[in-house]
Amino acid sequence: MSPQLFLPSVVMIRHAQSEWNREGRFTGWADPGLTEVGEAEAVRAAGQLRERGFQFDKAYTSRLARARATAQIVLDEIGAQGVPLLADWRLNERHYGALQGEDKTSMAQRVGEDQVWRWRRGYLDRPPALRVDDPRHPRHDPKWSDIADADLPNGENLAATRARVMGFWTDEIVPQLRQGKRLLIASHGNTLRALIMGLHGMTVDEVESFEIPTGVPIVYVFSARGEPLGWHYLKSSGEAQHAA
């Protein structure tokens, strides 16, 4: 019987494959949609959840299309169309600054693979910042007009991403866990890395070597007080699960 029947739980999922994942580009707050492969990944993830009887009281997503689409596909496929789906910018991907839209392979040829790895995985490493007058800066996009300019990033390291996602967690998720709610969160690779680092107490070295696959559910179980007890990837029957 599934653990969420006894204890509050959160299923986290990194959005399924996006167009820029396929193209190998730094994405950040850019807003490409899912590929057909990504849509199939989301359907498969929903099947894994449905197979084990997971249901949700509420779902959260970032305000980026690839995460919203992943969450909606999961809810539709498990027959949970009536579950509230709420978007919060604090679940957005780490902002990649001036790297946003750049090809990772071409960038590695220009600056070296080690530098690209540091930008992608480093905890304190920041990407080159976007200038305020760069049209890619979020202050020029109407979809972020409700967010204070001081909160709009021009490039983030993982530490900054962790700060905002942990703020979201404290404000939105902990109170609901204490009410025994079953929650779904669809977000992004770096955002979920930062969140799990905060919940699980990962070291900097551990989080820098930690990568989350697209479209694979993570089941996190909590105490009645909202304290994290452990997590594992949810795999299809017969596949190995990696627990923490």
| Residue 109 within any structural domain of the chain | no
Residue 226 confidence class, pLDDT cut points 50, 70, 90: confident
Of 186, 158, 177, 184, which is closest to residue 228 (Cα–Cα)? 177
Of the candidates 15, 95, 137, 188, the residue annotated as catalytic is: 15
Q: Is 23 a catalytic residue?
A: no
Residue 8 confidence class, pLDDT cut points 50, 70, 90: confident
CA–CA distance, 42 with 217 (Å, rounded to integer): 9
| Residue 239 within any structural domain of the chain | no
Number of folded domains that form the chain: 1
pLDDT of 244: 54
- pLDDT of residue 201 exceeding 70, the answer is yes
| Residue 22 within any structural domain of the chain | yes
| Residue 63 within any structural domain of the chain | yes
CA–CA distance, 210 with 212 (Å, rounded to integer): 7
Tokens of 41: 């990944």
CA–CA distance, 154 with 156 (Å, rounded to integer): 7
Of the candidates 41, 93, 102, 156, the residue annotated as catalytic is: 93
Domain that holds residue 197: 3-95+157-233
CATH assignment at residue 52: 3.40.50.1240
* pTM confidence score: 0.93
Residue 146 confidence class, pLDDT cut points 50, 70, 90: very high
Q: Which amino acid is at 193?
A: R
Q: Is 95 a catalytic residue?
A: no
| Residue 143 within any structural domain of the chain | no
Average pLDDT of the residues in 1-20: 78
| Residue 208 within any structural domain of the chain | yes
Which of 9 and 18 is assigned the larger pLDDT? 18
- pLDDT of residue 9 exceeding 90, the answer is no
Residue 235 confidence class, pLDDT cut points 50, 70, 90: confident
- pLDDT of residue 61 exceeding 60, the answer is yes
Q: How many CA atoms lie within 13 A of 149 on its CB side?
A: 3
